């Protein structure tokens, strides 16, 4: 496979862009080799600068529920751009978009549009702090909530210690208000709350994690977490930037049957364009300016192009309730094929799947938290990734990410992927 043009573009990019990419995971650092530069996407496929074609499973990291460039989203964008790209003033479409989100996600009574998932999560934490008049919050090891300073925290000597920065530029003072708990371990949460009584404003969690691979919150854990937050008057925030409208019309909270106080969204609500949102109980959201004293703003928030694409995507979901049955059928077919391959090859690697999100870990242990996820053999994953790539299958260039199945993936695509999976596994065994 010739990738000369991608290599040339990468060398040129490194002269002007840190690391040659505008988001770190794109650089192929964790799998080796040079990144491919993509020129076009259609359906379940995209093409690189050298003309190579791939069946791909990152879907722009989740938002392409219907594949690349679906006609109804393309038309919505063409119609919107005729009227202008940005106004910095309210538009009717923002109102319609907000109303549609509240219809699809019952826990959201009011919603504020922002420009990214990171903006959504940092704003939700600020709203929770303003509402509770407390400063500390709990996050879980292995959950990713964007690159705001107080999210880039890891545990110190133990998971129950105060957080310490994982990135230069994040201050110890900022980190001091971030408390680390273990995913799917309710006792770790209880201990933190007990040692920080009446100081915790919020608990933020990916109810279905997608950035340590795919890991689902256990039913008993997430229900007890809800009960503890109620008892302690702590705001429970579900980060659904990845799972919102991906695993169900009502997101992970619909799948798990647990209602958060606030939710954050991104990805699909932009129909492939940069966008985010946070919303939830009206009494909390009314703390946000100009209704209340908690300041949050964005010049391009509610951008008409992003709203047009997002409204088209969510309206398509609303009017086609069978989408999630179709996604389940396709994803379960792919999962079964891959599991059959593992069995045939005598491998017991772990596979996790929730709806159209799935992940294969190169470990034989059950993966239900960060500590078990990192036992996966990333060296083998790197080799496997390139074997799949050479067979025309583009996966996430990192072990700890999800595969995303779209409605555009055909049975032929899935069968080709299953065959490539078996051959690739055999090559790296």
Query: Catalytic residues, which ones?
Result: 144, 239, 267
As a whole number of angstroms, the distance between CA 174 and CA 385 comes to: 37
Print burial letters for 338-348: b (CB count within 10 Å at least 16), e (below 16).
Answer: beebbeeeeee
Long-range contacts of 84-92 (CB under 8 A, 24+ apart): 84/304, 85/303, 85/304, 85/305, 86/300, 86/303, 86/304, 86/305, 87/304, 88/299, 88/300, 90/302, 91/302, 91/304, 91/307
Conformation bin of residue 355: beta by default, left when phi > 0, alpha when psi is -120 to 50: left
As a whole number of angstroms, the distance between CA 394 and CA 76 comes to: 28
| Cross-strand pairs, 279 | 111, 263
Where is 320: in which H helix or E strand?
Answer: none
Entry field: residues in the chain: 429
Residues whose CB is less than 8 angstroms from the CB of residue 153 and which lie 6 or more positions away in sequence, other chains included? 139, 163, 164, 165, 166, 170, 175, 178, 180
3-state secondary structure of 94: helix
Angle subtended at Cα 37 by Cα 34 and Cα 40, rounded to the nearest 5 degrees: 155
């Amino acid at each position: 496979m010739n990738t000369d043009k991608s290599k040339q573009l990468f060398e040129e990019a490194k002269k002007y862009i840190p690391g040659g990419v505008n988001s770190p995971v794109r650089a192929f650092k964790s799998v080796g080799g040079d990144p491919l530069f993509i020129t076009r996407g259609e359906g379940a496929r995209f093409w690189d600068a050298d003309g190579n074609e791939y069946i791909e499973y990152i879907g722009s990291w989740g938002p392409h529920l219907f594949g690349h460039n679906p006609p109804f989203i393309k038309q919505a964008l063409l119609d919107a751009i005729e009227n202008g790209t940005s106004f910095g003033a309210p538009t009717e479409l923002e109102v319609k978009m907000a109303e549609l989100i509240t219809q699809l996600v019952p826990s959201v009574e009011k919603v504020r549009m922002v420009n990214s998932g990171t903006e959504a999560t940092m704003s939700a934490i600020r709203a929770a702090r303003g509402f509770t008049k407390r400063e500390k919050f709990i996050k879980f090891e292995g959950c990713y909530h964007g690159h705001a300073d107080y999210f880039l925290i890891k545990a110190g000597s133990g998971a129950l210690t105060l957080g310490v920065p994982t990135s230069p530029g994040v201050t110890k003072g900022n980190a001091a208000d971030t408390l680390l708990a273990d995913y799917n371990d309710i006792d770790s949460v209880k201990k933190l709350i007990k040692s920080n009584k009446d100081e915790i404003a919020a608990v933020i969690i990916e109810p279905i994690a997608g950035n340590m691979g795919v890991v689902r919150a256990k039913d008993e854990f997430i229900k007890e977490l809800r009960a503890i937050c109620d008892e302690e008057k702590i705001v429970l925030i579900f980060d659904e930037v990845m799972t919102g409208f991906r695993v169900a019309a009502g997101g992970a909270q619909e799948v798990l049957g647990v209602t958060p106080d606030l939710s954050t969204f991104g990805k699909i609500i932009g129909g492939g364009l940069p966008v985010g949102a946070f919303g939830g109980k009206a009494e909390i959201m009314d703390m946000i300016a100009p209704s209340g004293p908690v300041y949050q703003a964005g010049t391009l928030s509610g951008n008409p192009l992003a709203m047009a694409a997002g409204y088209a995507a969510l309206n398509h979901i609303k009017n086609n309730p069978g989408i999630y049955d179709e996604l389940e059928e396709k994803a379960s077919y792919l999962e079964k094929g891959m599991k059959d391959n593992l069995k045939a090859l005598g491998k017991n690697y772990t596979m996790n799947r929730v709806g159209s999100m799935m992940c294969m870990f190169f470990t034989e242990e059950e993966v239900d938290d960060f500590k078990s996820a990192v036992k996966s053999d990333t060296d083998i994953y790197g080799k496997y990734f390139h074997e799949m790539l050479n067979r025309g299958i583009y996966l996430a260039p990192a072990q700890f990410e999800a595969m995303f199945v779209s409605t555009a993936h055909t049975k032929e695509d899935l069968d080709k992927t299953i065959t490539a999976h078996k051959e690739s596994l055999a090559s790296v065994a």
